[in-house]
Structure 1
Amino acid sequence: MRNKYELIQNTPYNIDMENDWREMEFSNPSKVLHIGTSFSGIGAIEQALKQLGLNFKIEFAGDIDNDCKKAYFANYSIKEEQWHSDVHDFDASKYKGKIDLFVGGAPCQAFSLRGKHGGFEDTRGTLFREFARIVKECQPKVFIFENVKGMLSHDRGRTWRVIKKTFEDYCGYNVYYQVLNGKDYGIPQSRERIFCIGFREETGFKYPAPIPLEKTIYDFMQKTFDVKYLLKQKGVNFITRSINFQKSYTQINGDIMLCQKRNQQFNWHGDFVYHPKLKTDTSTPGTDVFLHKVSDYEESYYTQKHPEKYALVYDADEKACMRKVSINDVDVNYGRFRKFTPRECLRLMGFDDSFNIVVSDTETYKQAGNSIIVNVLIAILKEMDITKYAE
């Protein structure tokens, strides 16, 4: 496990090592927090507030993806007139002084720095410009801007300097930023993202300290799932190629998930599961389309990672059931491979099972891969005592 003092190079050392954010109490837990989001996805900040049991009112939200809208409306209290599909057409000035927290993860295309200002004017044509404009228009007490860590090093750091300068000079905020990893905040997924937080008033904010990781992927897996998630020959051939394992493109029965991608379930990269055959399984090796002899493939590393936890049986409804058994009860030479289910992907982003899945598997995979890990947001909200900014 990574040492909690090991932070990403070129990010500020601004971690609260003296306090445990898990033990912090909210100062105004009964007050209502007024929030706004753009590039809202499936509502990670809303999920964080919900899991914390805080009162919040959504003033506006929006996303250009109609399937995200379906998922969002199925899970949160919002009216049609509060939603914007195209951020370019959204005027946030009517919310000035009404937003306590604004959150978003605008996709940031590389933008030209040919201008001499190095600020807002150099962000023309980018979605970041729209995020900054909304901050300027509605003047939230706090904003959270999340993005990939590569933004810090893009164009030798000049891109990030423009972003930071825009938030400080154009928007007028006190800005903090830090790369945080989901596996340091209770979720077994190696997902590093930059979290830039702006305060309208100076606060001396520090980021929440990492905590020990006490769970593995196995703790987030469904014990019953549909057999449609079992891989056929083509998929197995690809995910067991040694080059994919050596380059960390794929992982099978890992303890900590690789970083979820929006398209990971379709390019055969990412995390997969190997279910060894129970010795009592009556399937004939080589005849079941889902049963594979592992010696036929390039790698066998998946047979050595706690196979007894992943034994597979079928119930009366022909659902696949995962069962933890003794190592003596399985035959690791034969087994079935599968991809993660949409529910498992959501769990590994911090969404609990109260989240309603109302779109296709394809769209749910994309939504999970595009989201923010809820647990990281929970840690940030507790560390800053977000209720200080509520009415």
Structure 2
Amino acid sequence: MIRFIDLFAGVGGIRLGFEQAMHELGLPTQCVLSSEIDKYAQETYSLNFGEKPQGDIYQILDAPGFDFLLAGFPCQPFSYAGKQNGFSDTRGTLFFQIERLLRDHQPKGFLLENVRGLTTHDHGRTFNTILEHLKKLDYGVSYLILNSSNFGVAQNRVRVYIVGIKNGQPKLNLNSDLGAADSHKFKRQLVQRSIFDEFATSIVADILEDNPAAKYDCSPSFVQSLLRQLNGKPEELAGYRMIDHRNGNSFHSWELSIKGECTQDEMDFMNALVANRRKKHFGAHQDGKKLTIEQIKTFFNHPELLQITTSLIQKGYLKEIDGKYNPVSGNMSFEVFKFLDPQSISITLVTSDAHKLGVVHKGRVRHITPRECARLQGFPDTFRCHPDDVHAYRQFGNSVSVPVVKAVVLDLFRSSGHVLTEQRIAELA
């Protein structure tokens, strides 16, 4: 019996992947403690596992004995702790609570998951501090940076997975792989995929529901604005992004009349501003510069320039500060900010805007559904979503890709199982 605890549990994605791996290995498991502070995630966890996680991890002063620790600990900034202690200590961070439980209970192993950025935060010092503190507890530690799209998940999601074994060194057969950088490169590489042959390639088309409720449809006015730009061909929306500070394969709010109709001259001005404001001779700011009228005239010298800018400011597409002009950017004003390509993978799901991903399917221009978000994270359809869509979207945007967790755990136990269990994994598999 493998007894484990599930910390920063969310809706239980890491637990699910761990239990699937153990089931495949024929090893029984028991979750002796789960912890999650968000009450709505607690509700979803309870729906699926029949138990309500404990809340604030700071209030968990003790735990039952356990063999394995799971934790998708938050990507909490370590900057303040670093300034105070020069990254020689982890106190004051949530990671310290993981460290405390490992020190007090000395389980046989652990799996931690976090965003890829943890490995590069503060030039890598944060990550090195974490690894060193784990090693000081007599754990051999290894880590992998993996893209979910390599594990049968139709999503471009790169995360770091840290594994540890008490008084032993993990031996992993998997290797870090960042996968395709975006959906376009993924499509080009489809014919060349061989590294992860055991995992069937999944694309967005594979996770779409046949006939979701009408409430997921985009509004008729938004659809009409989109189709006006595409000569009435909704299928061409695949891969388009709604964004106001970049060009490329995108639509802008002024082209879609989000804040009011624009003349052709006004649209031409805004498109020229977006296209030119990043040019090096205007400065080196990463996300574009505020330009003066004199600078703007070098690429858009229109006889009615003053009237055009005044009208755009009144409509809310343009802002002027101290005689310099910049688009009013942001994607939250759009019903959908990205239409997924059914023949490729999704962009990374995130908590704040999973509900603003769209798709064109069977002639409908709509949002992806919570169930489709769950599928994009590799959750089985038996997993029950939170009944409130608002919470369901946020939870799956913040979750883990279940098949990746399963693959990492299987690799760890198959290669290092003689250390983690009292029976040889090779004999059980």
Does residue 118 in structure 1 map to residue 87 in structure 2? yes
**Structure 2 CA distance for aligned equivalents of residues 259 and 115 of structure 1:** 33
**Structure 2 CA distance for aligned equivalents of residues 91 and 247 of structure 1:** 52
SS at match of 1:208: coil
Q: Which residue of 1 aligns with 2:2?
A: 33
Does residue 45 in structure 1 map to residue 134 in structure 2? no
Q: How does 1:270-285 map to 2 (within 5 A)?
A: 271-275=357-361
Q: Would you say the 8 A contact 1:207–1:380 is kept in 2?
A: no
Indicate how the Cα distance of structure 1 residues 207 and 370 shifts in structure 2: closer, same or farther if over 3 A, else same. farther
Q: Would you say the 8 A contact 2:151–2:201 is kept in 1?
A: no
Q: Would you say the 8 A contact 1:251–1:258 is kept in 2?
A: no
Q: Which residue of 1 aligns with 2:375?
A: 347
Identity %: 26
Indicate how the Cα distance of structure 1 residues 166 and 234 shifts in structure 2: closer, same or farther if over 3 A, else same. farther
Q: How does 1:1-391 map to 2 (within 5 A)?
A: 32-52=1-21, 53=23, 54-78=27-51, 83-92=53-62, 94-95=63-64, 98-107=65-74, 108-111=76-79, 112-114=81-83, 118-119=87-88, 121=89, 123-169=90-136, 171-208=137-174, 210-212=195-197, 213-232=200-219, 241=242, 246=248, 250-254=338-342, 255-266=344-355, 268=356, 271-275=357-361, 311-312=362-363, 336-385=364-413, 388=418, 389-390=420-421
SS at match of 1:205: coil
1:206-238: CA deviation from partner (whole Å, max 9, x where unpaired): 152551452211111111210101111576569
Q: CA deviation at 1:193?
A: 0.4
The runs of 5 or more residues in structure 1 that have no matched partner are: 1-31, 276-310, 313-335
Q: Would you say the 8 A contact 1:49–1:56 is kept in 2?
A: no
**Structure 2 CA distance for aligned equivalents of residues 131 and 160 of structure 1:** 15
**Structure 1 CA distance for aligned equivalents of residues 209 and 247 of structure 2:** 24
SS at match of 1:367: helix
1:160-206: CA deviation from partner (whole Å, max 9, x where unpaired): 1111111112x331111121110111112110001111110213411
Larger of the two Rg values belongs to structure? 2
Query: TM-score, with normalisation over the residues of structure 2?
Result: 0.62
Amino acid at match of 2:45: Y
**Structure 2 CA distance for aligned equivalents of residues 187 and 240 of structure 1:** 22
Q: What's the C-alpha RMSD, in Å, of the aligned pairs?
A: 2.5
Number of equivalences: 290
**Structure 1 CA distance for aligned equivalents of residues 165 and 249 of structure 2:** 40
Higher helix share: 2
Indicate how the Cα distance of structure 1 residues 85 and 116 shifts in structure 2: closer, same or farther if over 3 A, else same. closer
**Structure 2 CA distance for aligned equivalents of residues 377 and 258 of structure 1:** 19
Q: Would you say the 8 A contact 1:251–1:272 is kept in 2?
A: yes
Query: TM-score, with normalisation over the residues of structure 1?
Result: 0.68
Q: Would you say the 8 A contact 1:70–1:359 is kept in 2?
A: no
Q: Which residue of 1 aligns with 2:182?
A: none
SS at match of 2:32: strand
1:260-303: CA deviation from partner (whole Å, max 9, x where unpaired): 0011135x4xx32013xxxxxxxxxxxxxxxxxxxxxxxxxxxx
**Structure 1 CA distance for aligned equivalents of residues 386 and 399 of structure 2:** 16
Q: CA deviation at 1:365?
A: 0.9
Q: Which residue of 2 aligns with 1:23?
A: none
Amino acid at match of 1:366: R
1:123-144: CA deviation from partner (whole Å, max 9, x where unpaired): 2322112222222222221111
**Structure 2 CA distance for aligned equivalents of residues 109 and 129 of structure 1:** 13
**Structure 2 CA distance for aligned equivalents of residues 208 and 65 of structure 1:** 33
Indicate how the Cα distance of structure 1 residues 252 and 348 shifts in structure 2: closer, same or farther if over 3 A, else same. closer
Indicate how the Cα distance of structure 1 residues 56 and 365 shifts in structure 2: closer, same or farther if over 3 A, else same. same
The runs of 5 or more residues in structure 2 that have no matched partner are: 176-194, 227-239, 251-336, 423-429
